[in-house]
Chain A
């Protein structure tokens, strides 16, 4: 695990729903976020300590998508998590 990997905040609870989708709740703000399948994959990847690159590689093995595009997608999703203060740097 890379020491600079973003990690899910301890104030956030994730739950799976409807196959691969999920819901996040920020316990500090009481805000809820609905995640699509890809965003949930990213969240679960971060939970298990993976880097954005590793998560992107995982995505390419599950979906027909090039690594460059998967990486961009993962970074965009992680940026969103950061914007909403759902992550804590570890």
Chain B
């Protein structure tokens, strides 16, 4: 019986479909700290270390585990428009004693994606996936050591498009939306193309940019990226409120990160702030955390192609301007 096997320490590491049955892939993560910048990096490390137990269950296990597992309620959510400092912020949250940081965990973001691919607005499935999403966060946020007090969830960029559904599940959890100049963001995404931009299931991006999946399939990456981040900027501009903080990449600094943590109702110690200060000087996405951070805004602006500039101007710049205006009005 799966429920008996999944004792404390097992985590749902992915949302999968096995023999036509949608469900979760679990792994024995006992003793494994979620120390890497991304959840999947931790999973990969754990897999490489030794032969850990793995198991498939259907989603109903989540409902049973909600009643059994001692978990931390979400402290704060991090949303972003890609390549804009969200990993640094997640790492800063990880520096807080007793924190669990779930950074773009597949089990979470794939369930969020199902709102688009499998759950029309107002359908029973929408409620079901909401309950499963709450359950998977509960399972991932379980107290595996005992001293955990904070739970931060950094969602994948595209998940922000489902903010209204996420808020319906956790209406009181504060969130931050990070973003960056559109040209810099597009250039970064073209230099190292992320999976979401070349996802073969085009329905997610189609829903964000308001096009058909077929139209998405025919778009150049420059246009697709510009339209996606433009869509996310517009949405952020609409939903920002007292519970949703706007944060531009160019603001990121130790005092601002401290402000964000305060916004999450977390007060870091002097020692924790020193750790965060060290992080700011390092490249945030590398597991070894040794590569120095090099500011690249200027070089990204300089290397942007004519097409990148055109697409940014056509699809993202105005939304970015309005978002900046809203942030400045609120500051």
Contact = CB atoms under 8 A, between A and B. Distances in A.
A27 B60 contact: yes
Contacts of B130: 17-18
B70 interface: no
B127 A23 contact: yes
Interface residues of B, dominant DSSP: helix
A13 B64 contact: yes
B127 A13 contact: no
A23 to B, nearest CB: 5
Contacts of A25: 60, 63
A21 to B, nearest CB: 7
A32 B124 contact: yes
A18 B124 CA distance: 13
Interface string A3-27: 0000000000101011001010101
B306 interface: no
B124 A30 contact: no
Interface residues of B, number: 14
B55 interface: no
Contacts of A17: 127, 130-131, 134
Interface string B34-64: 0000000000000000000000001010011
A30 B23 CA distance: 12
B168 interface: yes
23 contacts: A13-B60, A13-B64, A13-B67, A15-B66, A15-B131, A15-B135, A17-B134, A18-B127, A18-B130, A18-B168, A21-B127, A23-B63, A25-B60, A25-B63, A27-B60, A27-B64, A30-B60, A32-B60, A32-B124, A32-B128, A34-B124, A34-B127, A34-B128
